Amino acid sequence: MYKLFMEIIIFLFIIFGLAQAVELGGFVSENLNMRIHEDQEFIKKETWLRLKLRSRMESSGMYADIDLRYDPLYYSKPEIKIKEAYVDLGLGQFDLRIGRQIVIWGKADEFNPLDFINPEDYREFISLNKADRKIGTFYPKLDYYIGNFKIEGIFIPIFTPSDIPMDTSHPWIPYQIKDILVNSNIILTEVQEPEHKLENSEYALKLGAILPDFDFSFCYFEGFFDLPVMFRQGIIPPDTIIISPEYKRFRAGGFDFAATLQGLGIRGELAYVDTAYYTTTDLQDTDGIVGKPNFSFILGADLTFSEDIYLNVQWMGRYIFDYVQGIEEDEMENRFVFSCYKTFLNEELKFGLSGMVYNLNDQDYMLHSYLEYSLTDGVFFEIGSYLFGGEEQSMLGQFDKNDCLCIKASYYF
């Protein structure tokens, strides 16, 4: 494994060196999380190294981000991934990017109804920010500029799913998956990814404009959900149920905007999905799944006070059209997310608090508090906590036993 990692690094250095001098950067961090309840069990003990290689020429460039992560609590070997590796080409009014890359659509923070492009790693969906959760995917992206307007086109030839924890001992396994795996009366078949055919490719198009103190965009996407739908395929007498996961295709469109008004930042997104899939308790439904269109939105505002206090608040909602009784999710969901921090000692010390209420009806929530100190240039030490609450079978309430203290040390170079 280490030999392979070094061979990759050497190969990239050679390629970058042929083009121009390579800029090397990145970070190394140590993370330790310990549950507060019960036996104070450690649920994270991770070493993470990221290498960033950059080589820039007049109208083109090469970029690569490589992750080496190891957590002996869950993985017997270090995990090596090429997060991004792409080439940029400037062609007059066109910018072409080819390779493994990450694109995040939408103006909001962390939760974006318009974020259709790249899948995510849900194995640590709480303690990683959105950019770090994203999984790089190979595709070409073409940008065309006309004055203040930009047209962005993406063609994804091969579908890539999100990573879901499938070990029942994993602290972040969703209760829906865990309930299936621990139930001896349920047979879970192997999920089949879409075949690597042109007809299973994904497409995305975005038209946007950047104006003084205001920008907006319209977008369209056709492709697959990154998470499989758990269809009930059949029942073996007397009471064994067969569940067959399947990736379903959908189409979606939407709009986003961002504006600045006297120092107040305002952002919003709207998204419409033609068919989303929900589990139903209706026993008359043969496959246990109902397909309905939905509409999602988010509206947020952020403001910096006295240059050392920052506040960000966001309201999210989702509405299911043609709602029928039996769908396990609410017809209308409302969620709230906030983030705030204050800096001290010329920004060397930062105290922050962030959190979310995922569903007002379930009253499930997560609170994250932290204290970060910059020991010297590039060296940071952080101590904090995560607290969860809500109904046992809710998005965040299911992790109530994962309340934990966190310690993190990082060096950026």
Instruction: Give tens-digit pLDDT for 77-106.
Output: 888 999 999 999 998 899 999 999 999 999
Q: Report cis status (omega within 30 of 0) of the bond before 238.
A: yes
pLDDT 10s digits, 296-352:
999 999 999 888 999 999 999 999 999 999 999 999 999 999 999 999 998 899 999
Closest CA to 187 of 235, 244, 242: 242
Determine the pLDDT at residue 284: 84
How many Å apart are CA 64 and CA 51, to the nearest integer?
Answer: 8
Determine the pLDDT at residue 198: 94
User: Which whole number is the average pLDDT over 125-149?
Assistant: 90
Closest CA to 271 of 292, 299, 252, 251: 252
What CA–CA distances, in Å, run from 321 to 30, 249, 330? 46, 18, 11
Determine the pLDDT at residue 13: 54
pLDDT 10s digits, 226-265:
999 999 987 888 888 999 999 999 999 999 999 998 889 9
pLDDT 10s digits, 1-44:
545 555 555 555 555 555 556 788 999 999 999 999 878 899 99
What lies within 8 Å, CB to CB, of 192 at 6+ separation is 246, 247
Residue 13: its H or E element: helix 2-19
How many Å apart are CA 7 and CA 86, to the nearest integer?
Answer: 18
Cβ 273 vs Cβ 252: under 8 Å = yes
The whole-model pTM stands at 0.87
